[in-house]
Each structure stands twice: as structure tokens, then as C-alpha cells.
Structure 1
């Protein structure tokens, strides 16, 4: 029986850092990508002292630690991860930010930031300067305990609006954007039990953005939008075990958004995929096993086949799961990869310019940002490149910096314990970012 924990071997000099688990039809396999060691269907457990393997020949358990376990791999060349980023500055936001999202709120073609601040009942908007840096926050009072947000133009006025999942008041709340950092209060809709996540796409094909809201009591509620930015209740689905996130995306390329929900409860550690019918309803879900307590899902193309794949961050077991898509809203068995201590959120992007999707993960317990560089097949090089963050990194978002005839990626973390967002700029921007952009630090 395999330990649910991603096995970690701190023998970095031999390129052996963390195992990856693959589920197969006959069981599970652990592989060490850098040296290609392989074990399957053996009795294996792991703890802080090492790895204990009970052999098939009845010889008894053998405790292997560090390089002794993988002496055959000692000849592998060390992998040195790229170092594409540097810490630039942190900007104050509200208390205990839980999400950070990028968008262009004032239509100047420059990326802005927005956060939900769960303990101050606010959102923070930070306008971009165009060089990867940001101005001081505009903080807006909103509903009780805003936990999650989605962005769309709900009333068709060419200004971005915001919908909030308000876990303290059991409602979703609409804010109509004015384009200048200010918002007008819109309608609020009760959902009755702790909304934890919200996503917005047009699920019934009428040209108006709709909402999908994940509720803590094993429900997903659909709201159908109108031209004026109001909503009416749609179908409600009761399924799963303690939803932790919801996302809408067309996974089978039929032009109809599909629904993806992560289930973080003890009875079903899985991501559920619901194929959209195009009329605001969804077919029965199919579950895909992940690591323990999956917290969130995002989309990428990890193997360059132009089909959407899934990235799921697992809150227990220090791992994340990638699921390669088949193009028909079904997925291959998940591959679990090791992360640092207590991963909480992830984002995928090509960070090193090799045209292969990489993964950035914030880790609560180890207080760092890890970047794992993709191999192009849904697995990743080890070790990762780690960057220290401020206290309580809770969420991460990537964005593009286009200035001075250069285009480079940037990263921003929501620092829950510090009440800030931290910006990491690409080394190609070093010396180019304005000193004024550090004003919030």
C-alpha cells in the first residue's frame, strides 16, 4: 500500500528530489523522473526517516535513506532549475487576502490586480503601471467574508464587473465596475450555505454571463444572467463531498462550457467533470482521483497537444495532480507530483520560455513560492526553484508584462498572513521596473 504522501528524497545533488505517483489500471507506480528508478505494486511507506520497502521475497523490511535507496541513480547529472524571477516589492491590501486575480479594469491595456480580503470584508484593486509594478490599493467595502471572486461584464457596458462568493453572509454579490477603481453595488443572491468559490461563463448560449457557485454543503448552484446584469436561479446539483472550488471551461471543444469541481472532503478526494449541455444544465459527472483534499483547479496544456489539461493542488500530502485531457472532456489517470509543505494554490504558464507549461505553487507551511518546470508530458523536473514569500502565501496568479519592446511573465502572490500581495518580476525586467512601483512596499 502506497503512502498518500509524496515521497521526498533530499539528495538534491543526485537529482533525486521527489517521487511522482501515477495511477494505472493495475495499481499505482512511483517514479523518480530524474533517474528513472521505478517501483510498482510493492508494499511501500514513507516517513521522515526514509522509505521502508517490504520485498516480494519475504526477506523482510529494509530501511533505505537518501542515496542508499537510489544508489543506481547516483550517476545522474544534477538538475539545476532555471531562476527566471526575482522578488520586486510587496503592496498592502486588506486583511487576510484569499484570492488574487489579474484583469484590465480601466481599459488601458495594462494588467491590474484585485484581491478578496476575507477578514476586512473588502476587495483591493491595484492599477498597473505598465512595467510589471502596481500603484497603491483602492480598497472597497463589500459583503461579509468575501472568499472568492470571478470577473465578467455582467451588464454589457464594456466595463469589468465582479461577483463575490460571500461565505460570511451566505450569498453571492455583484459589483458593477465604473472603470476608475470604483464599483456600484449590484444585486445580491442568497445561497443558504457557505459559498466557497464562483466562476462565470455563458452556460446557456444566450450571450449573457452566468454563474456557477460551489457551496460547502455538497451543492453547486447555477444562476442564469440577463442583459441588465441580474440573475435568476438555475439548476442546483447536489453531489460530491465538501466542494472547494468550481471552474467553467469548454473541455471538449463544442462551444459549451463544462463544469469542474474539486471535492475536498474525506469521502471523495477527486475532481468532478460535468459536461455542459449548452442550455444551463450539465450531464452526470465523472470523477477523477486526486491527492488528498484537493483545493483548487486550473487549466493548461502540459503536453502541447492543444487540448486542455487539469492542474489540481492537494492540501494534504504535499502534492499536486496533473490530468492530461483527451479532448472530449475526459482525462487520463492523474499523475501526482511532490510539492513543498502545505501547497494551497497553483497557476500554470511557460515561465522559462521553452514553450512548455510550468507550474507555480504557493506553500503555506514552508512560506515559499515553488516553480516546477515542465517536461512536456505532464511531469516536471526536480528540484523546483523556490522563492521566499511573505507570511501565509495563499494564492498566486501569473500575468504578462509588455513594455520596452519586451514581453515577460510576472507572478503575484496573495500573502494571507501579511495582508499584502508580493510581485515577482522576470530577470529580463531587472533594472527596467520603475522605482515608483515600490511605493507600496
Structure 2
């Protein structure tokens, strides 16, 4: 909270990302002293979480950005963003938990697919190529579909879907059709609550395989046959409540490796499992993350053409980046800030500077944060925040094409609202809507 010498409140600032009280103090002091010269004394009261080791800090400064010659101005924390703008929302099933973008019906336009845990359904929204989508096609699938992955599991050109059905203790495969719908395939029982799922070719046979994270501290492999069917593969018992999985070749040996976040209170780490090239993995190496890591993905944050790690820390209001060495190992992680309750993140170049940025949806604060990368695994702060509908749970990106341009778009899965929300890039020449929060 910022006050003038007369006791009037000038502005309020929340800075929850840092666990280190001195770091928060340093940031606020720097901002107050360097931005705008002013003769009046200004006080900043910085409220910190209990874990920071201090309840508040008092900063005295002689300048403040918000002070003007005739008084002070109030600034909406959501008004500065100029990179994306809210465009539209579309209804999906109840409590969407995952969103994926792909061309479902092979018409050349990106479509949206969501899992809806509250209604036991899958929603498909067919795209028009300009950032707009048709009304949902809602399909009954299985009990509590929590996550999904899309790929070509059989010989036709239409993407198929595999679901982690948490409430049914099974993995369900659905086959894509030309009309954008999916038809029932085979269901595979697993032991207790599948949480996350990822696909890749684990054994080098040019056929997609599955890795499923189970709540009872197990990782299960299914090997694809190329016909849309899967056979049971290896199973590993390790970790502490796995929450997400990701697959990639981390050391350049042509074998797919595995990253798993462990969100339980005992471990709080991301585990790296190096692949053997036959559908099995070697014992993992753990890297410490923030509290309750919820999501993991790969990106190149420092332009060295080596895969790095992005981990979202749900309890700590932060995310951690790990720079890859190139042999499957990683340097110690670097924590950066998010808003309240980060739940999902992805890495892309959003501002066209050829540096990898990060976008995160924050479940508790109901907003979308974008942080610009510095090309060294760290990010500019503060982020650009965009209001979303209640409870953004997941996030995906897509490309929007007009006659004049092509730019990225973002879409959030709004768990508290049963909707998906579209944010378009301001670089689109056809885009003229003002910056505004979702209605």
C-alpha cells in the first residue's frame, strides 16, 4: 500500500511471487526511487506472506510514478496490456480441465477440444480460421475426464483422442471422424485415478504410445499397435502424487525421455526419466521445484537449441525454469512470479523478439499472465495481466490468419464458468476491439 505524507492512500501493490522478503523490499524501493521525481515524501507499506519471515516493511522514498503535479492518478492494474485483448467466449461442458488445439476435421482451420469433468463430456468447437469458433459439439465420454492427448492412432488422417478418466479408473480412446466428432474406441483399466497423459513414439516403431500418471504414485506405459489399439507396457512406482507428464528427447540420442511433476508434500520435484528406446525408462533424477508443481513442459529459454523445463508451482504462486545442459540433465531451477494460484503454463514467443516468453493462467486470481523472456531463463517483471472468466484452469495457443497477417491467439478453459475464452494478438490488422475484461 502506498501513502502520501498526509496519510492518503495512493495505490495498492500486491507482489506475492517472492519468498524472499529482502527481494520484495529491494524491488519496491527501486521502483519508488527511480521512476518519477517529486518533492513530497511517500511511504510504501509492503505486506508479505508469513513465510517471508516478516509481516511488513516500511519504505521511504521521494518519488512515485503515480504522483502528478495536481495530485495522484489511479491506474487499473489490467489497463497496461497492449499485446492481447479479450475477443470472445464460448460455452462448453461443466468444469473444463484441459484444452487442446488441433485441426479435428482436417479443413485447414484450428479447432478446440476440452475435457469437462463436471459433465463427463468432451467439447469440440470447430474453428473458422479467424479467431471465431462454432457452437460446441458435446459428447458423453467417461466419468470425470481430467486430461487428454490428441494424435493419429490409426491409419486415417483424422486426429484421435485419448482420455484420462479419473472417475472411472480407465484410459479411453476415441477415434476422429470427418465431421469433427469422435467415435468410441477401446477402454483400458488402470489402477486408481489417472491424472495426466502424454503421447510419443517410445520404442521407435513409428507408432504413438502412451504414458499415464496415476494418483497412487505410479507411471503406466501403453504401447501402440498402429491400429488404434494399445497393449499394456511397463509400470513404475515412484514419486509423490504425480500431477503432469511430458515427453521429449532430452539428450539427442533419438530416444524419448520423460518428465513427471510430483505434487505431493513429501517431494515437490520434477523427475527426469531417460528413455531406453524400447518403451522403458531408467531410474529418475529429481530436481527441486516450488510447492505443489502442477504442470511441466519443454521449451528453449536461452536460445542454445537445448530443451529446457517449465514447471508451474500451484501453491507458491510461481513457476520454475530449468536450463538444459544437453545430456538430459538440468541446471538448478530459477523461480519467477505468477499471480494467485497458477495452474497451467505454456512457452511461446508472444512479442516477436525471438525470445521465449511464458503465459500462465491463474486459478485463484482469475487472470492470464504473460511474462517476456530475457533469453537467459529469466523473465521481465511485472507481467502483463489479462482478466479471464472465473477459474481459468488450462491454456492453449493457436494461429489466427487474415488476408493481411498471421498472429498467435490464446484460449483459456474456464473451470468456474463452463466456457473457453479467446484472446487475440493486437498485431492482427483486422483486430480493433478495445482492451476490456470478459463480461
The answer to whether the superposition gives a TM-score over 0.5 is yes
Distance 1:110 1:9 in 2: 49
Q: Distance in 2 between matches of 1:92 and 1:179?
A: 23
How many Å apart are 1:428 and its aligned residue?
2.3
Deviation at 1:402, TM superposition (A): 2.4
Quick one: higher RCO (CA 8 Å, sep 6+), 1 or 2?
A: 1
Which stretch of the first structure deviates more once superposed, 85-94 or 249-258? 249-258
Any conservation in 2 of the 1:53–1:63 contact (CA below 8 Å)? no
Matched with 1:58 is none
Comparing 160-169 with 336-345, greater Cα deviation is found at: 336-345
Q: Deviations over 1:116-166 (max 9, x none)?
A: 000111111111111122111111110110000001101121210000000
Show the counterpart of 1:252. Answer: 251
Change (3 A) 1:162 1:100: same
Shift of 1:430: 6.0
Q: Does the residue aligned with 1:353 lie in a helix, a strand or coil?
A: coil
Contact 1:82/1:352 (8 A) holds in 2:
no
**TM-score when scaled to structure 1?**
0.84
* Structure 1 residue 403, shift from structure 2 partner: 2.3
Pairs within 5 Å for 1:13-412: 48-49=47-48, 64-65=57-58, 67-68=59-60, 83-412=82-411
**Contact kept? 1:9, 1:16, Cα under 8 Å:** no
Name the CA shift for 1:167/1:18 in 2 (closer, same or farther; >3 Å): closer
CA change 1:73–1:166 in 2 (3 A) is farther
Q: Provide TM-score, normalisation by structure 2.
A: 0.84
Give the Cα–Cα distance (whole angstroms) in 2 for the partners of residues 249 and 53 of structure 1. 36
Assess if the C-alpha contact under 8 Å between 2:17 and 2:338 holds in 1.
no
Larger deviation, residues 247-256 vs 264-273: 247-256
Alignment length, in residue pairs?
403
Matched-pair contact (CA < 8 Å) for 1:21–1:335:
no
Root-mean-square deviation over aligned CA pairs: 3.3
403-412 vs 115-124, which deviates more?
Answer: 403-412
- After TM superposition, what 4+ stretches of structure 1 lie above 6 angstroms from structure 2? 31-37, 50-54, 71-75
Distance of 2:248 and 2:116 partners within structure 1: 26
Q: Is the 8 A contact 1:150 1:198 kept in 2?
A: yes
Tell me: CA distance 1:324–1:243, structure 2 relative to 1, closer, same or farther (3 Å): same
Maintained 8 Å contact 1:131/1:433:
no
Q: 1:19 to 1:114 in 2, by over 3 A?
A: closer
Deviation per CA, 1:18-41: give whole Å up to 9, x if none: 76679xxxxx9958997998xxxx
